[in-house]
Amino acid sequence: MSHSSLAHAFPPSSTSTTGDNLNELLENFPLKNFKKGASIVKEGQTPKHIYYIQSGKVLTLTSYPNSEKVLANGLFVKGEFVNFQALTNSQPDNHSVKALSKVSVRQIPTIAFLSLMRQHQFLNQMVIHNIVRQLDQKTTHCHQTVLYNSNQRIVQFLLDYVSKAGERVGYEWVVRDFLTQAQIALLSNTGRQTVSTLLNDLRRENIIHFTRKYMVVRDLDLLKAYLLKAQ
């Protein structure tokens, strides 16, 4: 994780650190590799570890057997921690974590992670900031579900996804390992057919281009403006 991406993720402070410092702090913990679609934390599994994403994309899920539905809680990428519920042993039985791509994570036992937090103030600040940010994102997502229609939710998700995982190339933005339409539908709380229709509309208007491997946003301002058009 680069210093610039760390600075973007966490606000500067007198106890801030570089990505190299963080990687050095965690380098003695096991590096676990998962194939696309593999479970990192299985439903019903007792929470014992915090995971730091070295590469790839991770999805957290909650299943509701009575309604036969699975809802997405969040998308996590390189440089982020997953499974903070384990810190308080409060992870619900219907919670799971899955790999959206090939994923490498540092697997840190909860007790060891709590010890690191006591020893290193910058890590403690990172955890607090991450938890607050995740709560804010969930609140925003709930509001969007009420206030936005399906097309707006998909466009907003694409904007958030570019901000989170995109790379600027000239005037365009590129997101590699693009998600499937079913995954976008899950993350935006919409239907797969709605996602397919909107993506094709955006491609036809030359706002984006996509394949199974990547998405290119040709004009980010036009994509932002599409939020109003999608009303």
* Tens-digit pLDDT profile for residues 92-151: 678 899 999 899 999 999 999 999 999 999 899 989 998 898 888 888 888 888 889 999
Burial class of 151 by CB neighbour count within 10 A (0 to 12, 13 to 18, 19+): buried
**The total number of residues written for the chain in this structure:** 231
Yes or no: say if 78 and 53 are a contact pair by the CB < 8 Å rule. Answer: yes
What is the spatial distance between Cα 200 and Cα 146, in angstroms, rounded to a whole number?
25
pTM equals 0.81
Q: Is residue 25 classed as helix, strand or coil in its secondary structure? A: helix
Higher-pLDDT residue of 2 and 147 is 147
DSSP for residue 171: T
Domains of the chain: 3-145 (2.60.120.10), 149-229 (1.10.10.10)
Phi, then psi, of 78 in degrees rounded to 5: -50, 135
User: CA-to-CA distance for 105 and 97, rounded, in angstroms?
Assistant: 12
Confidence of residue 90 (pLDDT cuts 50, 70, 90): low
